[in-house]
Structure 1
Amino acid sequence: MDRLRRSATIAVAALAMLLLVPAAAQAQQTDYVALGDSYSSGSGAGPYTDAACQRSNKAHPALLAADLGAELTFVACGGATTGDVLANQVQALDAGTDLVTIGIGGNDIGWTDAVIACITPFRNCTPVIEESERQATQELPAKLDAVYAEIAERAPDAEVYVTGYPRLFAARNTCDALGTISIAEQVRMNQGADLLSAVIEAAAEEHGFTYVDVRDEFTGHEICSRSPWLHGFTLLDVPYHPNAAGHAAGYYPALLAAL
């Protein structure tokens, strides 16, 4: 009889543990902080919950948080540099942060200046691209290192995913900006984007962070493709940034695959 009671008690205890585990798991909500620049905030995806930083609920951090049921602290901001991340964004991190995504670096190398130079009629944009590449290889690694080290210090237990940038142009025709950017210039811009991706990937890996490359996802959906996931030159939206489809079908699946 005692043996039966002991067996019954063990069975009841085991059943109670099985019933309690899902409830406990649900109680532990993921604390997710999204850092970065306009490619992370959702500039170009609209509409914006924060007009100054152009944060959008259609941006990949918001999509990912909704899928994970995570508590999102969304501090990525359009126009941000690595210095801005250190001054205004990393304060959102703490020891309880579970997940971090960050996309940063393009504004540190004057990439917007290179794009503007290439769409300006009768201007050779190669020197401006070369200057961006020089900054990417000679100056950006130390800036990224400072940001990544701060993330690791403030959120030591977090999983950190570093998102890259897509190539902008299909480089098959001159549909963008009324034909002011040639196919050769598009190719040269894409080469610069590849260099930037390589620099960011190397810096992320040095800190043990996961690099999320989105170039494959955006292949076939660049500016001047049949189904672009990026805005070209436009006065109606944020030019040269991913649209809502670029976040939903480009960045978001790449992040999910990495996770």
Structure 2
Amino acid sequence: MFRAATAVACTIAAVGTLSTTAQASSTDSTQPAIQRVVTLGDSYSSGSGIHRNASSYDDHGPATHSFGHSTRLGSSACQRELDETPGPRFAEQLDAESVFVACAGAVIREIPAQVRAAGIRGDGDGTLITMTIGGNDLRTERDENWPDALLRCITTANCDKPPQNQMANFDEIRRDLIRTYVAIGDQYPDVMVRALAYPRLMQSDRWCEGVLGISRNEADFIDEQVDLLNREIETATNIARVRTGADIRYVSVIDEFDNHGACRFWQRDRYVNDAVFGDSLRRSKLEDGTIREHWTDGPINVSTASFHPSSSGYDAYLDALQGSLTATAG
């Protein structure tokens, strides 16, 4: 979420069945054939978490991508993984075009620029947009972002107790999401939009043995914040669909990630990474406008893969995406 926590966005088993179902849903009389799949959003769409080292990703995007009000570009640029993320894999199954614009660290206000970069044609007929967005917009009462809030929970006791640690801007996020989804639906009335949820990161059992420094109560608190954010995403998609008439829908991933969170140390195949160590890329803009890049590495350098989906987690995302389209067609 989000932008990988320096402090602290799926081939399913039955591929043959999946491909058949995908083709059936895409040719259903009520739904146009999917000719292109556009991947927008943040790190949960770009593929952060698949690799330990930032240097292992396929693409970090252009050096000028995503500058906001500050001069900093984000901890490891876009971290795009083009082969293992749901959008490109689903496009390959359908023999459709894949357009990949998602970038780690993206916030809601950057989605219009991503939409323009995607080059969606006409009214959006035959285009499926998938995205995760909103996690990087979270702020606590003390104005910490989500990665900093996670770091606070790891490094201090009882982070779930102080009022200053509660998320403070869910209403603002909902309004911004509604505005963003409505703009897409108004401009491209025939597009299909699937707003993918965020998974519960921790999923503690009796304790959280998989994440050093996190208690069960703190793990539950973190997952509750994810649930609250997902509720706003779902509400925003419902409102946008009614206002525009476009096929804009929320896709839950709670069932797909169930019992596979970072806390589950003994789980054979966790879908969410705990703290991961590896190299990271940082970009900054000098006074003369030059972009400077430098890599950080070392045994205690926290990787941007931390608290992001593993490869198996992205499998689960693809499963959820496919299921949402099948349910809609049915």
Under a length normalisation based on structure 2, what TM-score does the superposition of the two structures give?
0.65
Give CA deviations for 1:29-59 in whole Å, capped at 9, x if unaligned: 6022111110011111244221331111211
Distance 1:129 1:68, change over 3 A: farther
The 3-state SS of whatever aligns with 1:217 is helix
Offset of residue 75 of structure 1: 0.4
In 2, the alpha carbon distance for the partners of 1:49 and 1:106 equals: 23
In 2, the alpha carbon distance for the partners of 1:167 and 1:142 equals: 23
2:169 equivalent among 125, 130, 135: 135
Higher helix share: 1
Distance 1:43 1:167, change over 3 A: same
Distance 1:128 1:61, change over 3 A: farther
Q: Which residue of 1 aligns with 2:43?
A: 38
Q: Which residue of 2 aligns with 1:213?
A: 252
Q: Which residue of 2 aligns with 1:203?
A: 236
Matches within 5 A, 1:137-156: 138-156=171-189
In 2, the alpha carbon distance for the partners of 1:96 and 1:45 equals: 34
The 3-state SS of whatever aligns with 1:207 is helix
In 1, the alpha carbon distance for the partners of 2:308 and 2:258 equals: 15
1:64 aligns with 2:90: yes
Contact between 2:36 and 2:91, CA under 8 Å: does it hold in 1? no
Higher normalized contact order (CA 8 Å, seq sep 6+, divided by chain length): 2
Q: Which residue of 2 aligns with 1:108?
A: 137
1:78 aligns with 2:104: yes
Q: Which residue of 2 aligns with 1:89?
A: 114
Letter paired with 1:37 = D
Offset of residue 257 of structure 1: 0.6
Offset of residue 187 of structure 1: 0.7
Mean alpha-carbon deviation: is it higher for 234-243 or for 180-189?
234-243
Contact between 2:271 and 2:311, CA under 8 Å: does it hold in 1? yes
Offset of residue 128 of structure 1: 5.1
Give CA deviations for 1:183-240 in whole Å, capped at 9, x if unaligned: 1100111111111111100101111211100011100111122021111112134100
Q: Which residue of 1 aligns with 2:193?
A: 160
In 1, the alpha carbon distance for the partners of 2:237 and 2:123 equals: 21
The 3-state SS of whatever aligns with 1:49 is coil
2:222 equivalent among 163, 183, 189: 189
Q: How many aligned positions are there?
A: 227
The 3-state SS of whatever aligns with 1:234 is coil
1:242 aligns with 2:309: yes
Distance 1:149 1:94, change over 3 A: farther
In 2, the alpha carbon distance for the partners of 1:100 and 1:234 equals: 30
Q: Which residue of 2 aligns with 1:54?
A: 79
Give CA deviations for 1:66-93 in whole Å, capped at 9, x if unaligned: 112111111011000001212x301023
Q: Percent identity?
A: 35
Q: Which residue of 2 aligns with 1:224?
A: 263
The 3-state SS of whatever aligns with 2:39 is strand
Contact between 1:90 and 1:150, CA under 8 Å: does it hold in 2? no
Contact between 2:251 and 2:320, CA under 8 Å: does it hold in 1? yes
Letter paired with 2:47 = G
Distance 1:247 1:145, change over 3 A: same
Give the structure with higher Rg (CA): 1
Contact between 2:204 and 2:216, CA under 8 Å: does it hold in 1? yes
Under a length normalisation based on structure 1, what TM-score does the superposition of the two structures give?
0.82
In 1, the alpha carbon distance for the partners of 2:214 and 2:131 equals: 30
